[in-house]
Structure formats: C-alpha cells, structure tokens
Amino acid sequence: MVVQLKLFELRKFPTPEARLAARDRLDERLSREFADFIGSMRGAFVKVAQVLGSLSPPPVRMPYIEKLEPMADAAPGGRAWKSVERQITRELRRGPGNRHRTISDVFSSFDPEPIGTASVGQVHRAVLRSDGRTVAVKLQYPDSKRLILTDLINIHRILKLLGKKEEAGVVNEYRSRMGMEFDYEEEGVTMNAIADFFDKSIDSTTVSGTPVPSVGRKVVVPRCLPELSTRRLLVMEYVDGGSLRDNLRGRYKAALQQPFLLRLPKLLILRQDTKHVLTTLLEAQGEQIFTLGTFNADPHPGNVVLAKDALTGRGAKLGLIDFGCSKTLSDPQRASLARLYVALARRDEEGVYRAAVEMGIRTRHMDKRVMINFVTHFFDRDMTTAMSPPAYLLSLSKIDKITGMPKDYMLVARSTLLLRGLGGKLRAPQQCGRSWEKLASDYLKRAGEEEKLSQKAIDELIRRKPP
C-alpha cells in the first residue's frame, strides 16, 4: 500500500482535478485493503487504528478514517464460542471452593454471540442466576498482552523506517502505558471507586442546603462484581444503549438527506445536543481528575454509551464504560495541573508558561511561545484545525525541539484530545479550560495551594538544564 501511494505521487496528470479524482479512486480501494489488513492482524494494529480514528483532525485522509472509525466501537472478528466457553469456565473456577463451578452454575443464560469485541478480548451479555440481573462479561484473550506489546514494537519500527516520526511517537507513548490494560481486577477496583464517587456526588452537591445539578445525575458507571472477576475475567453491570458517536453521526447523515428548509433547523438542534453531551462528558472527566484524583485515560467514543433519550430526556444518562487505562494523580500533580487550567481558562499566558515549566514540560531553548502553544493545543483547545495532533507536535518541535513531556500529565492531554476529537468531527469544538476552571480553582483552595508559583521558584525551574 505504501509503495502504491509513493508511486502515485510520481505520476503525472493533465490537470490538478484529474490528479484529485485519481487519488480519490486509489484511496477508496486502498482504504478497504488497509481496513481488511488491520482486521486480519488484530491485536495492537486494532488499538492503533482506534487511536488514529478518534483524533481530529485525523493524521490520514478521510477514506482511511471512515474505515478505521468503526473499530473504536468493535474490533473485527471475535473468538469461537467453544474456546471462549473453556476460558470463562477456567476463570470462574479460580479461588477456593470453585473447582467444579460451571457457566450454568453462575448464569441462568449466556449469549454466545459477543456484544463487543476488542483487541484485548470480547464482551458477552449474560443473566445472573442468583438475582436475575443482566451483566456484561468481559474476557481477555490468552497471550494478548505479549502479542500486543510485540506488535506495537514492530509498528513503531515500521513507522520510523517510513519516516513517520510523529505517528511513531504516538505508538511509542501508547505502548508505554498499554501494560496497565491487562489486569481486570485492578480495572474493577477503579470502576467501583469511580461509580461510588459519582453516586455520592448526587447527594452531596448542594448550595446553602439546596440541591444543584450534579454530573453524577447525568452519567452512570457500571459496577464490577469482584466475587466473579479475575485478572482475565471482568463481570460487571450491563449498561444498555448504543454508541454515542454512531447515534450522533447517524442523525447528522439523516439531516443532510432532508430538504433544505428542514435541514438547517435539524442541524442546529443536533449541534446543540452534541454540545450538551460533550459538556457532560468534559464535566465528568474534570470531576474525576480534580475532585476524585483518578480518571479514565482512554475515553474514546467506543467507551461512551448513549442511553435511550439521553440527549433530551430527563433522568437519562451517559454510560461510561471500560476503565482498563486509568491514572491516579498525586496531590502535587493535581495542584500543578490545576494551576495550568486556571491559567488556560483566563488566557493568562505567563501563568500557562509557569505551570508548564512546573509540570516538567521542556524544550531545548525554553521557547515561551512554543511551550504555550503546545500545552494549549494538547490540554485545552485546538490551536489549528489544519494538522493532526502528531503533525502539530512535529511542527512545534521544528521551531524548538520538545525534550520533556511527563507521561503522567500526557495521559490527561490524551484524554482531552479524544474527547475534543469527537467534538471536532461533529463540528462542536470544546475548550477544557473553560469547563474545568472552577473545578481546578476549587481544588487549589481545598489543598491550600496558591494559584501561581512565585517568580523566584519559576526562575529556578527555568534555569535548570532541560532533560
């Protein structure tokens, strides 16, 4: 595929229009072949496809993105039921007293067809025999950790050989944190902690004794059943609903097919609904980061379920699922991040620069403009819609090479890019600083932190030799 694209660039055409038409035909054919290849390789190739398909603007042309986007909700394929049944039975029998336990002992019904597939495993719907609750059963494939991490090494090498430095950097960062997604017991602990947090926020959100709207009323996080879960099997509450991205994009396509007089009002309503949903998602993410201190670092569209009437119906909720990649920030890390977001919201460039230095972000020459543009684009709002995030990072590095990007904070940046990417594709851009300013400011007050570092402290940080 790469060879064909390179050869195409060398071809001569009578007019620019003829070149574009030929390129469109080539993209349509190669994008199908590319998606088929990704699906056949599975593993880390699907993971990379999910990341590339979620960014906005995308790092590759739209025909390829359109084939990759569905993988954010469901990876191709799935394992045969007999193999899955053996693995689930093996996991259910772990622990004292469970040696002879079977699937039928635990579940009164179990759907052999997966309701979701991913690069790491697949999910089935089942009903508990004990109390009749519907649950989701998530099974990890054998050897998935070893295979995926090996695949990512190979993908990184291939991209470097092809000169795709920015894409190679994304893959390398992804591999560095991928290992945390293979412990389902740890994921269950995180899931329950976040579910408890949002449930408690419903009762505790008051002003002068009067209840006020809480994001906990707008979202739901399924709870893990630890007594049935293992490192490779996660049994959790079932959240019924379809993909947020597919619902909104389906409405967008349907609106475009309406007569002109009906099209505009439908598109305006859709835009407002999209902003409402994304505002809720950003509020939920900000609460996790600044109030709880533990957050989902992989909120791509496939991890958000849109319950029936969630856009307009009262009491309906957005389902937040899959907490395999999460991060807990220390108090000093949250304080530094809070100072950054207060400065971003107030468009305080000096404050943004000081906070970036405090967080450990460095460039070779400590160029103030490069650092401000970097943290603004990756933590708050789009500084350009002409380049994908990896391409924009490369363009900044050409001005002043970025030498320090602390991984803990970059997981925050990655989560904002994924959430904002959905908004960009649906023409409803978001600004995290505005959404999180109060949460950040409140955290600093609770922690007794100053909103700004002293000039003497920041001067000392800047004088230190960049890593």
pLDDT for 112 beyond 50: yes
- Label the pairing between strands 233-237 and 304-306: unpaired
Rounded Cα distance, 276 and 115, in Å: 27
Give residue 314's pLDDT.
Answer: 44
pLDDT for position 217: 85
Quick: pLDDT tens for 285-306.
999 999 999 999 888 767 888 8
Which is higher by pLDDT, 26 or 199?
199
Omega before 57 cis (within 30°)?
yes
Please tell me the predicted confidence (pLDDT) of residue 61: 65
Rounded Cα distance, 90 and 82, in Å: 12
Grade residue 142 by pLDDT with cuts at 50, 70 and 90: confident
The H or E element that residue 108 is part of is strand 107-110
| 456 pLDDT more than 60 | no
Q: What percent of the chain has pLDDT over 70?
A: 75
Q: What mean pLDDT, rounded, does the chain reach?
A: 81
Of 363, 391, 398, nearest to 377 (Cα)?
Answer: 391
Choice among 73-87, 112-126, 185-199 with the minimum mean pLDDT: 73-87
Q: Which two tokens stand for residue 372?
A: 């401000």
Question: Checking DSSP bridges between strand 318-320 and strand 219-220, what pairing results, if any?
Answer: parallel
Stronger pLDDT, 154 or 338, i.e. the higher one: 338
**Coil/strand/helix, residue 72:** helix
* pTM > 0.85: yes or no: no
Band (93; pLDDT cuts 50, 70, 90): very high
pLDDT tens sequence across 347-402: 999 999 999 999 999 999 999 999 999 999 999 999 987 888 878 888 998 999 88
250 within 8 A of 289, measured Cβ to Cβ: no
pLDDT at 210: 45
* Token duo for residue 104: 């039928």
pLDDT > 80? residue 438: yes
Average pLDDT over every residue of 85-112: 92
Half-sphere exposure of 194 (CA within 13 A, CB side): 34
Q: Which of 27-36, 101-110, 258-267, 360-369 has the lowest mean pLDDT?
A: 27-36
Q: Is residue 72 predicted with pLDDT exceeding 70?
A: no
Q: According to the model, what pLDDT value does residue 89 have?
A: 95
Pull the structure tokens for residue 268.
Answer: 């305006």
Residue 467 pLDDT grade (very low, low, confident, very high; cuts 50, 70, 90): very low
What's the confidence (pLDDT) of residue 73?
52
In angstroms, the CA 396 to CA 382 distance is 14
pLDDT of 261-282, one tens digit each?
Answer: 888 898 888 888 888 888 899 9
pLDDT of 211 above 50: no
Q: What pLDDT, on the 0 to 100 scale, is given for residue 170?
A: 63
| Amino acid at site 187 | E
Q: What is the 3-state secondary structure (H, E, C) of 281-342?
A: HHHHHHHHHHHHCEEECCCCHHHEEECCCCCCCCCCCEEECCCCCEEECCHHHHHHHHHHHH
3-state secondary structure of 214: coil
Provide the pLDDT for residue 8: 66
> 242, 305 in Cβ contact below 8 A?
yes
State yes or no: pLDDT of 167 exceeds 70: no
Mean pLDDT over 99-104 rounds to 90
